[in-house]
With several copies, the nearest count.
Chain A
Amino acid sequence: MSVVFTILQRDLLLAWRRTAQVLQPLAFFIVVTLLFPLGYTPELAQLRQIAPGVLWVAALLASMLALESLFRDDAADGTLEQFVLSGQPLAALLFGKTVAHWLLTGLPLAVVAPLIGVALGVPSAAMPGIICALCLGTVSLSLIGAIGAGLTLGVRRGGVLASLLTLPLAVPVLVFGARATELSIAGGSPAGALYLLAALMVLGLTLAPLAAAAAVRIGVE
């Protein structure tokens, strides 16, 4: 367990040393969500309707964008190889990295969501549900993304391929996430969809680190 924290600490420290990279997915998320009113209509009543789709697609794409860098630096400088050789369970180490990745990309999205919600005319009563859905959903996205990033280690322009591999796998998260958001905005109870999102997350938490570890082991060779 303690190695998970070691990795977490290391990755957060590294991110702190390089703030610019951390802000990129967030900036992307904001630009994308704000672009829609520009391309669609300035009317809030109509914007509200597309808000779930916009929020979730933007979140998914921001995740994909950040995924590129999940293992890349560590693979390039040989750190990943050292992880494989560390004698510790690789799945735990990668889990630590994934948690750090989520804290740096998924969580910020959930935090700025209320702001963007306002711009898209989402009623403030819907915010708790939306934030909750984004939190749960982005965890799954990070976990699924870790598998894709592991599989494309050492592949040129791996970023595009990684997204190509993960997007189909991420469809359920998108569907339930958008559904929870939609229900929140419509004033209904998003509980059902949130449970499903949580279930996906739990499934991801148990399986994804193992799959990612297997992928990385194949990839460092």
Chain B
Amino acid sequence: MDWTWFHKFGSPPHVYRLAGRLTPWFAWPAAITILIGLYGGLVLAPPDYQQGDGFRIIYVHAPSAWLSVMIYTTMASAAFVGLVWRMKVAHAVAASCAGIGAWFTAVSLVTGMLWGKPMWGTYWVWDPRLTAQLILLFLFFGYMALRAAIDDPSRADRASALLAVVGIVNVPIIRFSVDWWNSIHQAPSVMKLGRPTMPVDMLVPLLLMLLGFTLYFVAVLTIRLRAEVLRRERQASWLREVLD
């Protein structure tokens, strides 16, 4: 098997340059997709027959919720690679994910709460999905707090990576347990869109937003990754190259 690609990804200068080159390729498509998606969602899509215009929150809520889960998975996988193969670059990826992930988890929570008020009559209910999302936010916070508490960068990398990996083992268990927990009480069944299938003019903007948010994440990740790689790097030679 050819491992050169793996080593290439492990090499900071290569990653630094590659990330720099990739940023625009994700940033511009992301901006365009999101703008079209917003226009589609706010203007073109018809009002929902039950929720009226309130359903349009979905175009920011669902993408951010999806992104939060996606980012945690990315972070934990990168952390795992960093721990097992001692790849600095993988640690840098994991570290770059946390901040973005916490933001979008928070956005999904708040937009969800704002949607909940008109739909369920209250900002917050202890619904399984909501609870699990809240716990996800705390996993992100825990990860960042641990990083901040350790100031030796390499120690912080390894300790927080371990936490991320343990956390991902637990994420499905949390979901499962919380579902099970609530099953004994009445389940709020409002949490469905009025109809089982969405009309195309509602669906397309949603898909665009999902795609746009994902592209956006990769773009931001590449920028943060470059910063993290630089901060970790001690080899002077290529630093000089990339800085001048």
Instruction: Given A168-B174, A221-B152, answer yes or no on A151-B180 (Cβ-Cβ < 8 Å).
Output: no
A219 CA to B152 CA, complexed, in Å: 11
Does any Cβ of A come within 8 Å of B203's Cβ? no
22 pairs, CB–CB < 8 Å, chain A vs chain B: A18-B148, A24-B145, A38-B181, A41-B185, A42-B127, A118-B123, A147-B166, A155-B150, A158-B149, A161-B146, A164-B138, A164-B141, A168-B142, A168-B170, A171-B174, A175-B180, A176-B180, A179-B181, A200-B173, A215-B162, A218-B158, A221-B152
Of A20, A27, A44, the residue contacting B149 (CB under 8 A) is A20
Does any Cβ of B come within 8 Å of A167's Cβ? yes
Give the interface residue-count category, chain A. Answer: 35 or more
Minimum CB distance partner of A157 in chain B: B149
A24 CA to B146 CA, complexed, in Å: 11
* Inter-chain contacts of A176 with B (CB < 8 A): 177, 180
Does any Cβ of B come within 8 Å of A76's Cβ? no
Does any Cβ of B come within 8 Å of A3's Cβ? no
B145 & A164 in contact (Cβ 8 Å cutoff):
yes
A169 & B144 in contact (Cβ 8 Å cutoff):
no
9 A-B pairs besides A44-B125, A119-B124, A167-B138 with CB distance below 8 A are A20-B149, A151-B146, A155-B149, A161-B145, A164-B142, A168-B170, A176-B180, A207-B169, A221-B152
Of B134, B141, B145, B167, the residue contacting A34 (CB under 8 A) is B134
Binary interface encoding of chain A residues 157-183 relative to chain B, with 1 for a CB under 8 A from any of its CBs, else 0: 010010011011101100110110010
Does any Cβ of A come within 8 Å of B159's Cβ? yes
Does any Cβ of A come within 8 Å of B100's Cβ? no
Size of B's binding interface in residues, CB under 8 A? 41
A175 CA to B148 CA, complexed, in Å: 30
Minimum CB distance partner of A43 in chain B: B185
* Inter-chain contacts of A169 with B (CB < 8 A): 166-167, 170
Does any Cβ of B come within 8 Å of A100's Cβ? no
A31 & B149 in contact (Cβ 8 Å cutoff):
no
A118 CA to B125 CA, complexed, in Å: 11
A172 CA to B177 CA, complexed, in Å: 5
Does any Cβ of A come within 8 Å of B51's Cβ? no
Smallest Cβ distance from B182 to chain A, in angstroms?
6
Binary interface encoding of chain B residues 174-203 relative to chain A, with 1 for a CB under 8 A from any of its CBs, else 0: 101110111011000000000000000000
Q: Chain A's interface: helix, strand, loop or mixed, by majority?
A: helix
Does any Cβ of A come within 8 Å of B39's Cβ? no
* Inter-chain contacts of B170 with A (CB < 8 A): 168-169, 172
B138, B139, B169 — most chain A CB neighbours (10 Å): B138
A21 CA to B122 CA, complexed, in Å: 32
* Inter-chain contacts of A207 with B (CB < 8 A): 169
Instruction: Given A18-B149, A211-B162, A218-B159, answer yes or no on A172-B142 (Cβ-Cβ < 8 Å).
Output: no
Q: Which of B's residues lie within 8 Å of A, judged by CB?
A: 83, 122-127, 131, 134-135, 138-139, 141-142, 144-146, 148-150, 152, 155, 158-159, 162-163, 165-167, 169-170, 173-174, 176-178, 180-182, 184-185
Of B142, B163, B182, the residue contacting A42 (CB under 8 A) is B182
Does any Cβ of B come within 8 Å of A152's Cβ? yes
* Inter-chain contacts of B123 with A (CB < 8 A): 118
Instruction: Given A18-B149, A214-B162, answer yes or no on A165-B142 (Cβ-Cβ < 8 Å).
Output: yes
A43 CA to B74 CA, complexed, in Å: 34
Smallest Cβ distance from B186 to chain A, in angstroms?
9
A219 CA to B83 CA, complexed, in Å: 14
* Inter-chain contacts of A161 with B (CB < 8 A): 145-146, 149
A27 CA to B165 CA, complexed, in Å: 21
Instruction: Given A20-B144, A42-B125, answer yes or no on A219-B159 (Cβ-Cβ < 8 Å).
Output: yes
Within 8 A of B (CB), among A93-146: 118-119
B163 & A171 in contact (Cβ 8 Å cutoff):
no
A171 & B135 in contact (Cβ 8 Å cutoff):
yes
Does any Cβ of B come within 8 Å of A86's Cβ? no
Does any Cβ of B come within 8 Å of A2's Cβ? no
Minimum CB distance partner of B132 in chain A: A171
A179 CA to B177 CA, complexed, in Å: 10
B148 & A19 in contact (Cβ 8 Å cutoff):
yes
A41 CA to B131 CA, complexed, in Å: 12
